[in-house]
Amino acid sequence: MDDDTTEAFGFPAVGRKRLSAAFDGGRLTSDGGVLLLAAAERRLGLCDRLASLIADPRDPSRVIHPLADILRARILAIACGYEDADDLDHLRQDPGFKLACGRLPDTGRDLCSQPTMSRWENAPSLREVVRLMRAMVDVYCASYARPPAAVTLDIDDTVDVVHGRQQLSLFNAHYDERCFLPIHVYDTAVSRPVAVLLRPGKTPSGTEVRGHLRRLLRQIRRHWPRTHITLRGDGHYGRPEVMAFCEAEGINFVFGLPTNATLRGLVEKAADDVRTRRAEEGVPVLRRYAETSYGARSWSAKRRVVARIEASTLGLDIRFVVTSFARGSAEWIYDSLYCARGQAENLIKLHKTQLASDRTSCRSPLANQLRLILHTAAYWLMLTLRDRIPKPHPLASAEFATLRLHLLKIAGRVIETASRVRIAFAAACPHAVLFRGLARSLLPAGP
């Protein structure tokens, strides 16, 4: 077949001069920033760690693509916005990606193709997938230079719509879709992912959540036996089994609590007072807080419940949370502690939307779980890159899509000679100074 990428095409004339173009610029990459991600990956050692946990039955003397290189190419592609394995068919010859994977741009072998990647996505066994999930928790713990005195972990699930008959997918009436409901756990204070778990498209039960938390905390305790942990989540996780588990393990918690007639009756006097004060003061909205002791029939004991009561021109709105904290005002519990979990939803959006981790289209749940692990690894690369940006810089708090646009999607001409490889970036790159500084900061430490 003819290669139509070199066919010339035109644009409107400029200064009475004809303007033509063609994709014949030579060895160029449109993702020059992938080398920054590769440097971040080398610092974390992610791909080598993950590859060491998967059995490779191939004859070493005939291996063209080491498993670590296969995973590295896939993770780097995800971070650069190429979320489908099919994209590797085009990227395998890209000089930037080849350099990022340790191969020379011209004389080195091309990277793996989509069939090779797809085979390895479906290769790991259940035991190997479990080890990979534990390794990602280890990466989180290793991200702290020393065990922290305390951390707050946010747990939440998110809808992952499927378009087929993948195993574990179920029809969920709330979302009116056939879907998965994977669980995400984040250390929201530092935006770091702790665990991402594929699960069926139904609301998790208290017994299921307790089992997931037991395994997760066991892995964390191997690194941090004395760190105080606080668990935070919405009403899906305020189950009696979960609260009893947290109390037995010495873990503090604050969970959303669905309202009912009994709870409303316990704060009725405070609610009436808020409604009356709003009317007397003539303000559009008035918010106050109250607390009570409450024990549902399924609970083993009464627990502290905080209510946020808000009166407005639209009526009365009351929200409840249950907590193990005996100290702290009701306002602090709700506004400062519980509401901070909203940031976890933003992190889920980074993971699911900006890194496209909802591409769980494999038939096997093990392959889909492996994809979540690879997307989480890409999250770590983007987060590591962002954390290296000096705080006064606007990109230091940018979303991943913005980082990708400004730092990764940078064109460069790659020139390989007998003695060296040189990359020529655009002289008008608006973030040239930042790019240079990041490249230097990610270099391995000298002897």
Is 152 part of any domain? yes
Residue 447 pLDDT > 90: no
| 295 and 430 housed in the same domain | no
Q: In Å, how far from its chain's centre is CA 63?
A: 32
Q: Is residue 116 over pLDDT 60?
A: yes
Instruction: Verify that 301 and 411 share a domain, yes or no.
Output: no
Note whether residue 99 is domain-resident.
yes
In a domain, residue 423? The reply is yes
Tell me if 18 is assigned to some domain: no
The answer as to whether 374 is a domain residue is no
The mean pLDDT value for 8-28 works out to: 82
- Residue 12's pLDDT is what? 86
One domain, residues 108 and 131: no
**210 and 322, same domain (yes or no):** yes
79 & 221 share domain: no
Above 60 in pLDDT, residue 125?
A: yes
If asked whether residues 352 and 261 sit together in one domain, one would say yes
As a whole-number percent, the residues of the chain with pLDDT over 90 amount to 87
Q: Domain with 287 in it: what CATH number? A: 3.90.350.10
145 with 242, same domain: the answer is yes
pLDDT, residue 445, reads 62
- pLDDT, tens digit, for every residue of 134-187? 999 999 999 999 999 999 999 999 999 998 889 999 999 999 999 999 999 999
Is 182 part of a structural domain of the chain? yes
- Answer yes or no: is 252 within a domain: yes
When the pLDDT of each residue in the chain is averaged and rounded to a whole number, the result is 93
Same domain, 265 and 174: yes
Question: What pLDDT was estimated at residue 3?
Answer: 57
> Residue 446: is its pLDDT beyond 60?
no
Q: Are residues 261 and 348 in the same domain?
A: yes
Per-residue pLDDT, averaged over 410-416, amounts to 92
Say how many domains are in the chain. 2
Higher model confidence: residue 251 or residue 8? 251
Q: Do residues 354 and 416 both lie within one domain?
A: no
Q: 67-71, 148-152, 299-303 — which is least confidently predicted?
A: 299-303
**Residue 238 falls inside a structural domain:** yes
Supply the range of the domain harboring residue 243: 126-361
Whether residues 398 and 342 share a domain: the answer is: no
Quick: pLDDT tens for 220-276.
999 999 999 999 999 889 999 999 999 999 999 999 999 999 999 999 999 999 999
Are both 410 and 330 inside the same structural domain?
A: no
Mean pLDDT on 12-41: 88
* Position 331 pLDDT exceeds 60: yes
Predicted confidence band at 5 (pLDDT cuts at 50, 70, 90)?
low
Output the pLDDT for position 1: 43
